Amino acid sequence: MDDVLGLLCVHAHPDDEAIATGGVLARYAAEGLRTAVVTCTGGERGEIYNMDVDATRPRLAEVRREELAASLRMLDAGEPRFLGYVDSGMMGTEGNDDPASFWRADFHEAVRRMVAVIREFRPAVLVTYDAFGGYGHPDHIQNHRVCVVAAEACAVAALYPDAGPAWRIPKVYFSTIRKSAIVQASRDLVARGLPSPFGEDFASADDVPMGSADDEIGAEVDVRAHLRTKMAALRAHVSQLDSDSFFLNMPEDLEVRAFGQEAFVRARSDVPVTGVEDDLFAGLRKPPR
């Protein structure tokens, strides 16, 4: 299997895999490539919908593990792989102080765990978050920190020798959203009389506090052919989707416009690349015989 290219996506909580990378996971699995997801926490501190809150809260990690497994089956991305930490909650909440949380994890131990997963799966492409974690959640920020170090440490045999044979990842990306796309999506929703999850009408892309400028985008992958699979995988996370969620109520044409492309910042590539790639595996695929 080592000669089959692999995509490893690292996410903070169950449901992030579908929202941010469900399209590329489904697309590359359909192309016969290896795909897998690492989830750093169990999502224990997330909000609960569609279930009795008091009865569900004590077993929320189990519920979300089951939902994640269902999502990954739809995406054909294997079984759940957990890094083994507890959800830290939103920035500034008491969960940030939990010693079992990802935010409070011993950094070198977290890197060692990530290195072990990378060396076992041997991906050609690794996807994580940007330095802001997409939107500032502490688990997303920690995800970025740990993955950036692990992506380099995994290639050095002298580092974490107990975590398996060294492996060099040829390409590393940060999952992102174009700031300009956020502005357009917000305006499209408002024009249809629908609430925007971004909360305001931005004067320009420069006012958007998350995402990436157009000139920072290194890859944009067309996943429209797999959009139904991506959205079905997201809907598998029943406990996290409020009936009012814009994910469930977006008109089909806007859904295609908003989610039919997945964007990435190119953090590193060991192969020559130019411009905005339309394939995360560009430069890595063997030419047809």
Rounded CA gap, 114 and 122, in Å?
Answer: 12
In a domain, 113, yes or no: yes
The residue assigned the tokens 């009865």 is 55
In a domain, 281, yes or no: no
Q: Radius of gyration of the chain from Cα atoms?
A: 19
In a domain, 54, yes or no: yes
User: Helical H runs in 122-263?
Assistant: 138-153, 179-191, 227-235, 246-249, 252-259
3-state secondary structure at position 233: helix
In a domain, 142, yes or no: yes
CATH number of the domain that residue 52 is part of: 3.40.50.10320
In a domain, 90, yes or no: yes
The residue assigned the tokens 């044409």 is 253
pLDDT value, residue 1: 40
Domain region containing 261: 6-178+213-269
Residue 2 has pLDDT above 60, yes or no: no
Amino acid identity of 264? F
For 206-261, the pLDDT digits (tens) are: 888 899 999 999 999 999 999 999 999 999 999 999 888 878 888 899 899 989 99
Residue 187 has pLDDT above 90, yes or no: no
Number of domains in the chain: 1
In a domain, 197, yes or no: no
The DSSP H or E segment spanning 29 is helix 16-30
**Residue 100, token pair as written in the block:** 């079992």
In a domain, 108, yes or no: yes
Rounded CA gap, 51 and 262, in Å?
Answer: 31
**Residue 107, token pair as written in the block:** 């950094």
- The average confidence (pLDDT) of the chain is 94
For 104-147, the pLDDT digits (tens) are: 999 999 999 999 999 999 999 999 999 999 999 999 999 999 99
Closest CA to 173 of 132, 141, 144: 144
pLDDT value, residue 128: 98
In a domain, 152, yes or no: yes
